[in-house]
Amino acid sequence: MSSTKVSRRNFIVKTGFISASVTLFPSLIPVKSFGISPSFNQKIFVSTNFVNGGGKVTIQDEELNIIRISAHDEGEGGWSKIWWHFMVAGINLKDEIILELELGAGANNQLFFSYDQKNWGLTNAGEIKSIDDKDFIVVKHIIRGEKTWFSYDLPYTPEHINAILAEKVKTYPDIKTLDFCKTKKGRQVSAFLLKNTGPDSDFKYGIWLQARAHAFESGSSWVLHELMCWLMSNGTEAKALRSISQIFILPIVDVDSVVEGRTGKNQKPHDHNRGWDKESSFWPEMTESKLQLAQWAKNGKMDLFIDFHGPGNSSHPYFIVPLAKDLSSAKQRQNRLNFFQSLDARPINEMNKLTQSMTQFYFSERVEIKGKENAVKWVNENTTDNVVSLTLEVNMGTPLSTQSGYRAEAIALGEAISKYFINKHHQK
């Protein structure tokens, strides 16, 4: 897949669903009416009535095919107002559609689009314009299908887990699909456990990887998805890591918000990356995670924790970490330093933010803010004295942020994790 900007006239950036029939994603196929009954004179219509559909979408001008998009808002604007994903139909082939995306936090000037919800491309870059005293990113796109889906970022839903990962692991006896817990609204949260079951099945290290505590950060699920595929491969580094570790993978933490097409971040009473200090967790996903993490720590097998996020930035993937002096032990400080060296991760600054990459990692040390206790801080303070606990910000919203880009990022990370543990850079 090319890392250059994709022309709307040339279209397709493949996302890797070629082997997966659309019938594997039944709720990604829109309802026949698309949730809207167009009037007799209505030329075009839009819908968010499908899994992960969200945001406010209005037809501004049917004759000129102008559609306005406002992201879903958890109630506070800013980073609470990010996600949108919709379908449009009724526009003639080769006609131009004009999309007016309300400018806000995390807004991208290239939009993801698809004509089948399997293959996704990036539109040409839009322009910032002031319309009716508000700022918008205005994107023009030539329609090449009877229906077109547009999205804030490359969509990733529970159906990707069920139709791709869960099907793939059926051929691996040493990988278990877990019914991790039920959400507040009764939806299943699925996870996977990779554990060596061979002659030397006693593992030495425990690795916990999770994504999507904030529902709009779909790129984080894609990186973890691709990392799991790499971990299941027959590559030397992947096999070596599997032989000495137990690896837990949770591709989507906030399933309810993802399915309902909500932003997730800053939802009430707190989102899934806040409130970890509270004794009684509001979210079942958090309760179950804390119970299992505590058990892993009790057994001395909690060595690496990575919480995958991705708010969108035109930079590199980078880790947000507490100041070294604020870590609980000297072992944590040394292990984190060793891990960053294995990954060749460097301190991020304004100069290296000017370039983009999917495989060069950086890190940003920050003072922890009281009242915003998150998963990484809880793991640092409540598991083992040797744990490496990190927040990874995958770089969503760039021309490189396609499935092939996310795959490259995942493999670079996987190889570094293997190098770190296999070469015994981790102090127990």
User: How do the domains of the chain map onto residue ranges?
Assistant: 22-151, 158-422
| Pairwise CA distance, residues 90 & 44, whole Å | 4
Q: What one-letter code names the amino acid at 295?
A: Q
Protein fold of 158-422: Aminopeptidase (3.40.630)
Question: How far from chain centre, in Å, is Cα 234?
Answer: 25
For residue 342, give Cα distances in angstroms to 103, 287, 337, 385, 426. 39, 32, 9, 20, 11
Question: What is the model's pLDDT at position 385?
Answer: 97
Rounded to 5°, angle at Cα 326 from 324 and 329: 80
pLDDT over 50 (residue 37): no
Question: What is the model's pLDDT at position 351?
Answer: 92
- pLDDT confidence bin for 25, thresholds 50/70/90: very low
- pLDDT confidence bin for 372, thresholds 50/70/90: confident
Q: Does domain 22-151 have CATH number 2.60.40.2470?
A: no
The rounded mean pLDDT for the chain is: 89
pLDDT over 70 (residue 92): yes
Q: Using one digit for the tens of pLDDT, what is the confidence trace for 282-292? A: 999 999 999 99
Nearest in space to 118 (alpha carbons), one of 13, 7, 4: 13
Taking the alpha carbons of 30, 188, 118, 173 in that order, is the dihedral positive or negative? negative
Q: Which of 74, 260, 393, 415 is catalytic?
A: 393
- Would you call 352 helix, strand, or coil by DSSP? helix
Does 158-422 match 22-151 at the fold level?
no
186-200, 364-378, 399-413: which has the minimum mean pLDDT? 186-200
Q: Using one digit for the tens of pLDDT, what is the confidence trace for 189-198? A: 999 999 876 5
29-38, 159-168, 208-217: which has the minimum mean pLDDT? 29-38
Q: What is the mean pLDDT of residues 226-250?
A: 96
Q: Is 393 a catalytic residue?
A: yes
